Amino acid sequence: MKKFLALLILSTLLAASAPAFPATSRLFTAKEIKKNNETIYEIGFRLLNANKIDKRMTFSYSTKDNVNASTSHINRNIIIYDGLIQYISTEDELAAVLAHEISHAVDSYNGIFRGYLEFVPHIFIPRKYERKADQRAVDYMVNAGYNPVALIVIMNKAFPQYRYEVLGTHPLTSRRMAMIYEYIYTKYPAFLVNNPYQNNVYYQNFLLNSEHNRKKFAQKVKTGSKKKIRYDY
């Protein structure tokens, strides 16, 4: 079993010759702001309810073209910008982005004065919170019936690749995707064994660009090591 699972990690581009990427109908429609807003609220609240998150937060769509989403620590409003919406093709991908932001909004309630000072550690150790939000996003998605592999898909499709993370607020996207892959594999392996994203062009590209990191992970699985992997650029 272990051997099979280690092979699974390394099974790159198995379906490279399979017919390309199935046609997807777009989730969002240009200029239909009300409809786009409603799609965002509905999936956001579905994630909250399915995960029994009893902290209040709201969701909004912004027509600004930043390829980003953000969470206000002041009023717990989660915004997805149109620049990122342009990349989102499926409900799973939208749920991935919202689930990550929900983690930040949940954290904004921690600590004294109703979480008033919670932004401080986010400034000094932001990448710790980003890693936590990526892991929680996987859990939140699974609990709400979404496929967590979509978190890797949307990142590989839309998030750029910087050279160094030392001054960055986020870990490098390559590292984030490898850590998410490891987390899904460890906690929810069924999503990788029966993976409907196997032929997805963005997932295939992740398999291609993460081969060195997945080799590191396969080695960890093979040896049974518990050591945290430092994934490469």
CB 89 → Zn ion: shortest distance, Å?
Answer: 21
Q: Binding string to Zn ion for residues 74 to 113, with x set by CB under 5 A, is what?
A: ----------------------------------------
Which C-beta is closer to Zn ion: that of 177 or that of 192?
A: 177
Stretch that binds Zn ion, among 131-139, 148-156, 171-179, 202-210 (CB under 5 A): 131-139
**182: closest CA among 4, 8, 43, 13?**
8
Q: 70 forms bridges with which residues in the sheet?
A: 79
Residue whose tokens read 């409003």: 77
Q: Least distance (Å) from Zn ion to the CB of residue 100?
A: 6
Question: Which tokens belong to 137?
Answer: 């996003």
* Joined tokens for residue 64: 């600004």
For residues 180 and 138, the answer to whether their CB atoms sit within 8 Å is: yes
- Give the nearer residue to Zn ion in terms of CB position, either 5 or 165: 165
**How many residues at the interface with Zn ion, by CB under 5 A?**
2
Of the candidate spans 115-123, 127-135, 141-149, 218-226, the one that interacts with Zn ion by CB under 5 A turns out to be 127-135
- What is the identity of the amino acid at 129? Y
Q: Which is nearer to Zn ion, 151 or 192 (CB)?
A: 151
- For Zn ion, the closer CB: 104 or 214: 104
**Near Zn ion by CB under 5 A, which window of 18-26, 84-92, 130-138, 183-191?**
130-138
Please answer whether residues 9 and 217 qualify as being in contact, where contact means their C-beta atoms are separated by less than 8 angstroms: yes
Nearest CB to Zn ion, comparing residues 133 and 192: 133
Residue 196, C-beta contacts closer than 8 angstroms, at least 6 positions apart: 147, 149
| Residues 121, 129: Cα–Cα separation, whole Å | 9
The answer to whether residues 92 and 131 touch, using CB atoms and an 8 Å cutoff, is: no
Cβ nearer to Zn ion, comparing 92 with 130: 130
To the nearest whole angstrom, how small is the minimum distance from the Cβ of residue 233 to Zn ion?
20
- From the number of C-beta atoms within 10 Å of its C-beta (0-12, 13-18, 19+), residue 68 rates as middle
Q: Least distance (Å) from Zn ion to the CB of residue 16? A: 32
> Under the rule (CB under 5 A), what is the footprint of Zn ion?
130, 133
